[in-house]
Amino acid sequence: MDNGEPRAWIVTVGNEILIGRIVNTNAAWLAEKLTFMGFRVERIIVVPDEPEHIAEELRRALGRARVVITTGGLGPTYDDRTLEGVAKSVSRSLKLNPEALEMVRRFYERRGLELTEDRMKMALLPEGAEAIPNPVGAAPGSWLEVEGTIIVSLPGVPAEMKAMFEQHVEPRLAREAPRKALHECGVIVRGVPESGIAPYLKRIARKYPHAYIKSHPKGHETDRPILDIRVLASAPTREEARSLAERIIAEIEETANGLGGQVEREPC
């Protein structure tokens, strides 16, 4: 489904993800958020904690994606170098941001802790960036717009990332997203191989360009096949999106019945 939606990239930073120690739940959460806001998520990329790798991916996004969200690498340790990579990607330097420094100072002051050099490191933002408040943790985020691309950098701790996105990032990005509604429906089809229904789904998808149709096999291709077919419909209003999704699901249901399948339709 591509109806002129602004593009979004998600860049997750962290060696712990690349070695399989941590599952990238942040990207999945952000992808759903951005999709239902009206963005087209075009890339989800995982890079190591190295500024050169971070900068390489961000340079690719400049002028192509309307928004890039990075997660991870904003903390006080030696390998938290995401903002160094952001700065490098746009040929800018890191500077002590007064607003970010005040956020960090207040966080540790409330806990009776001093503002050490390592803690001050979290207030170093790319030149020209705005600090994003962190209502949960210590590290501020960063908002930087260059060449028509907004680069938002958030911490990797899920609770911090989610709170910052919902309170401070989502309201601003909503101005960039098209005013439309999305609605998702699904249907379970038993007894029809994915390869058997694929050409019919392709035909239906071409008929409805404002919807994304995807089948997810849950069983064996030929031995008792089970398909979870999802429909994500887009329209100017919620009711129109729901109506479109229901219409598509009805066609899929009719097709699956014609192929000898057993259909379990979830409420739309």
Catalogue the E-assigned strands of 72-175: 94-96, 124-126, 130-132, 141-146, 149-154
pLDDT in tens, 74-105: 999 999 999 999 999 999 999 999 999 999 99
Cα–Cα distance between 255 and 3 in angstroms, integer?
Answer: 26
- Average pLDDT of the residues of the chain: 94
Q: What is the pLDDT of residues 200-218, one digit of tens each?
A: 999 999 999 989 999 999 8
Q: Residue 7 pLDDT more than 60?
A: yes
Distance CA 80, CA 231 (A): 39
Domain 7-173 grouped into CATH 3.40.980.10: yes
Give the pLDDT score at 4.
Answer: 67
Give percent above pLDDT 90 in the chain. 87
Name residue 158's beta-bridge partners: none
pLDDT of residue 1: 47
**Residue 3 pLDDT greater than 60, yes or no:** no
* Cα-trace Rg, the chain: 22
Q: What pTM does this model have? A: 0.81
Domain 181-263 top-level CATH class: alpha beta
The pLDDT of residue 125 is above 80: yes
Structural domain boundaries in the chain: 7-173, 181-263
Alpha helices in 166-237 (DSSP H): 170-173, 194-207
The whole-angstrom separation of Cα 71 and Cα 10 is 8
Helical packing angle, 51-61 and 82-89, nearest 10°: 50
Query: pLDDT at position 16, please?
Result: 95
Tell whether the model's pLDDT for residue 183 goes beyond 70. yes
